[in-house]
Amino acid sequence: MIKKALPYLLCLFVFIASAQTKKRNFRQSEIGLFAGASYYLGDLNPRGHFSFSKPAIGLFYRYSTHYRYAFRFGLNYGSVMGDDSKSKEFDQLERNVAFISTIYDVHAVAEFNFVDYRIGVDKHRFTMFIFAGLGGFYFNTKSTFGAGSANDLSHGGIVSPAYPKYQINIPYGIGFKWNVGRVFGFGVEWSPRKLFTDHLDHVSGEYIDGYMRGNTRTKDWYFFYGATLSLKLPKPNKPCFQDF
């Protein structure tokens, strides 16, 4: 009896496994907007997360291949700044340098959802997620110096090599996303950018007389945080917003 039933049980198991695989593996495309802020950590702001935050915006495309996995490609625009005069540290007050820089950021990241998530499916409505990848950015820094400070003129210039304004970075982060209805998804996220330059704030190296301008042993960072709104795209040759 058991031997006769075994082939049917195996077939049932294969059918269930196939259905689950088909359910969890799918193709879904989204386009979206990011709105939030950007800030920086470096010599002019060593520890103040979210200090000097400036408005930031972005566009992205997300391609999901599974309830747990997705790939995202995006472009963000923001600006960052720092100001020694706002610090309580004596060496920063003495240096008295400030800067502001625009940031054009492109990135490609892989996302991992902690629980199953899919726009348009009520029982998979929300998830926390993490992401990491590779990116690049362009920056254009402008510095100012306070009157009577230990600035470039009083120290006879800067010992600093030329540096490219196009750099690579490593973007990563954490967030939370949820869907509303059949086609919209919302999210919030925080994303550091690990840089390989110490010149984002234009404070690095030594003055000609040997006075230290910035710590060359640590690199600068910038961050994005804010909210996202995404729209699920219809599958080709399907009616608009039909479930797929």
Q: What are phi and psi of 20, to 5 degrees?
A: -65, -40
Count of helices and strands (H, E) across the chain: 2, 11
- Residue 239's Cβ-count burial label (10 Å; 0-12, 13-18, 19+) is exposed
pLDDT 10s digits, 81-100: 999 999 888 888 888 889 99
Residue 160 has which token pair? 């600093």
Bigger pLDDT: 17 vs 235: 235
Q: Which pLDDT band holds residue 159 (cuts at 50, 70, 90)? A: very low
Q: Where are the domains of the chain?
A: 26-232
Residue 68 falls in which region: left (phi positive, over 0), alpha (psi -120 to 50) or beta: alpha
Name the least confident of 12-21, 32-41, 115-124. 12-21
**What's the per-residue H, E or C state across 166-231?**
EEEEEEEEEEEEEEECCCEEEEEEEEEEEECCCCCCCCCEEECCCCEEECCCCCCEEEEEEEEEEE
Structure tokens at 190: 């925080």
Residue 25: the pLDDT is: 75
Name the CATH architecture for the domain at 26-232: Beta Barrel (2.40)
Whole-number pLDDT of residue 44:
92
SS3 117: coil
d(CA 3, CA 6): 5
Most confident segment among 93-102, 142-151, 219-228: 219-228
Distance of CA 222 to the CA centre of its chain: 9
pTM value is 0.80
- With beta carbons less than 8 A apart as the criterion, state whether 169 and 196 touch: yes
- Contact, 105 vs 72, CB < 8 A? no
Give the CB-side neighbour count of residue 239, counting CA atoms within 13 A: 2
